[in-house]
Amino acid sequence: MKAFAVIQRTISYSSPKGTCTVLDAPEGESADIFAWVHSFRDFGPKYIGEGFNEKVTLPTTGGDGLKLELDKEINKYVKD
């Protein structure tokens, strides 16, 4: 049950659409601590099917979501 509780606190699922949204850290908790304590990662082998990343929405106010937003912005200035 602990794993299910952790997932409920960190991800919002939409079963009909098959999508999930990673939630922001709660008020007063840093994104780093939130990610470490409530991580849904493990070190075992993994399989992620085609199109999985398109179904995940990351918060753009910090962490990986913010990094991806900044990457979009600075890539305008990258030359091939």
Q: Which residue has better confidence, 9 or 48?
A: 48
pTM of the model: 0.56
Q: What is the mean pLDDT of residues 39-52?
A: 74
Distance CA 50, CA 37 (A): 28
Domain count of the chain? Answer: 1
Q: What's the pLDDT tens digit per position in 46-80?
A: 777 888 888 888 888 888 888 999 999 999 898 87
Query: Which residue range(s) make up the domain with 52?
Result: 2-77
For position 40, what pLDDT does the model report? 62
